[in-house]
Structure 1
Amino acid sequence: MSTGLIFDIKKYAINDGPGIRLTVFFKGCNLNCKWCHNPESISPKIQKMYNAKKCIGAASCVENCPHEALKMTPEGIVTDFDACNLCGKCAEVCPTKAFEMLGSQIPISELMKKIDNEAIFFDQSGGGVTFSGGEPLMHSEYLLEALKACGKRMYHRVVDTTAYGRLETVLEVAKHTELFLIDLKVMDSAKHKEYTGVHNKKIRENIRALAKTPCEIIFRMPLIEGVNTSEENIIETANFINSLEGNRKVINLLPYHNIAENKHVKLGTPKNNRVFEAPNLKTIEYIIELFAKRGISATVGG
């Protein structure tokens, strides 16, 4: 039985597909978007997050660290990551939960128990399970095992993905999924690589193949001023969507927000030096109009 590295399981999710859902967040992503609002999801390894605002100086973590990797300073607890092996003892003993371990290997049997506990909400709301990340396709064996188990229980299944991965994996996942939520970040491939670390040729190819399956697809676009809000990019995005087989006419617009800045501080990772901004209301309205003229329903949120 496979295991997957999961950093969060969110109950009562209402923006990750229809109805009330349970969303499973995998850790690790093969893209590295400069604007990512979940930087804790990028690394495929267990990480430790420290919130200095929660720390009361109890020093339980320092006293109980088996590797003497923690030190109390006027600014709070400092971790020597050369000595730290991410055992999580500091998080276990911290009375205010100032330390948080990100990522744990959860067996399918344990995951399904958590999912089954929410079944009543799925039934009442038409909801189900959403697999997100990070990038769930990076955990294909575990993902497929979970999707099949959900299918046997008749739970509605959603995969929230960048569509960057092996085509064979994408198509196999499609056999066990009702809905894909797929990001379309920016259409120019060179610009896509500049901002995400990879070209988008494979992503486009995978989406074209996926569009030939019966699965429903809803596209999402993170709207970042100066990156993908130009008329040229919106028209190219609309033309790409219209070139796909089936009725693929819905896109959710997600204006940029900077909640990642505080997360970088907690992770102790360097934040991106670029300053990103959300487009203003007038620009968003114009983008919605551009999509509408091409027969595509664009809405903010989702």
Structure 2
Amino acid sequence: MIDSKQKGMIFNVQKFSVHDGAGIRTLVFLKGCPLRCRWCSNPESQLFKPERAYNPNRCLTAEVCGRCAKACNEGGVTLIDGLICFDRSKCTDCGSCVNACPTGSQTVYGYEMTVGEIIKKVEEDDVFYSRSGGGLTLSGGEALAQPEFSLALLREAKRHRLATAIETCGVYPTEVLAEACKYLDELIFDIKHLDDEKHKKFTGGSNEQILKNIQYVFENFPSLPVTVRTPVIPGFNDTEEEIMAIRRFVPLRDNVQYEVLTYHRLGSPKYGYLGRPYLLGDVKADDDFMRQIRAKLREYQG
């Protein structure tokens, strides 16, 4: 298939990002992820298919609107004591309530786009990339969990002379990453923990392939700029011993950076919209520890 016609499942295209690669970037968020991290801030990214959501905070209420309940013929959206209620067990994904909703309270996470459609949207901001050194970043979910689509998108981006980056959890065959690296200007790679059992408990998957993949990059693409990131999660990896073990695993090179990310709960309301529990509870980041570990990292890096 011609790369520009390849289709993939995404859930957002976010413009003007400055934290996901060099310069000003457009992020393409792909659906589907092999991990189930308890702290995931994008739970709508986890499934490979479109997913219904209901955000009551955007709802105009039945008194003002009520269009969704009128549009639903399956009993999935009803009025109970004047309140709009969404019953997932009766939803047939027909989209009637979503189309009727004027505010996005009733919505669907996930839709198909072709590579060509995405490149056209990304190129709308080409002037900002040329001035800032930015470009296209693939994120997710896990972008390389849709390998044919993501690789086609990277190839097409290079044909259009767009700088490319990818944010990845590293869980896929090494040959997929090897092919992607041929078309990348920057790799942003998560290492969450070195202990496999703890990694399985908190993310739902082993770290074996993750560590194998990043070692492959270090050995076979030594000139590729790499940023390794670790989200510091309370109760999971929030000790100096655990963080410094990851830092020592990552080589000290001019083109390899290491960052720790402070835990946040910004994505937790979306679990309610999707009808799921937020598994990490009410834990909070330790700001004092984050200051201390960043100082320790600066000292280690010289």
- TM-score, with length taken from structure 1: 0.91
Return the match for 2:98 from 88, 91, 94. 91
Deviation at 1:273, TM superposition (A): 5.3
Residues 52, 45 of structure 1: alpha-carbon distance in 2 compared, 3 angstrom cutoff: same
Partner AA of 1:71 in structure 2: T
TM-superposition CA deviations, 1:238-260 (whole Å, max 9, x none): 11102x8x545412221111123
Partner AA of 1:171 in structure 2: A
Aligned mates of 2:169, 2:82 — CA distance in 1? 38
Aligned mates of 1:75, 1:25 — CA distance in 2? 36
1:228 partner SS: coil
2:33–2:48 Cα contact (<8 Å) kept: yes
Partner AA of 1:237 in structure 2: I
RMSD: 1.8
The corresponding residue for 2:285 is: 278
2:38–2:278 Cα contact (<8 Å) kept: no
Taking every aligned residue pair, what percent have the same amino acid on both sides? 31
Structure 2 counterparts to residues 1-302 of structure 1, below 5 A: 1-56=5-60, 57=62, 58-74=65-81, 76-211=83-218, 212-213=220-221, 214-242=223-251, 247=254, 249-272=256-279, 274-281=281-288, 283-295=289-301
Deviation at 1:66, TM superposition (A): 4.6
Aligned mates of 1:77, 1:269 — CA distance in 2? 19
- TM-score, with length taken from structure 2: 0.91
Partner AA of 2:34 in structure 1: N
Q: Tell me, which stretches of 5 or more residues in structure 2 are unaligned?
A: none
1:118 partner SS: helix
**Deviation above 3 Å: which 4+ runs of structure 1?**
246-249
2:200 partner SS: helix
Deviation at 1:235, TM superposition (A): 2.1
Q: Tell me, which stretches of 5 or more residues in structure 1 are unaligned?
A: 297-302
1:258 partner SS: coil
Aligned mates of 1:191, 1:9 — CA distance in 2? 33
Deviation at 1:127, TM superposition (A): 0.7
1:35–1:276 Cα contact (<8 Å) kept: no
Aligned mates of 1:228, 1:273 — CA distance in 2? 13
Aligned mates of 1:81, 1:220 — CA distance in 2? 36
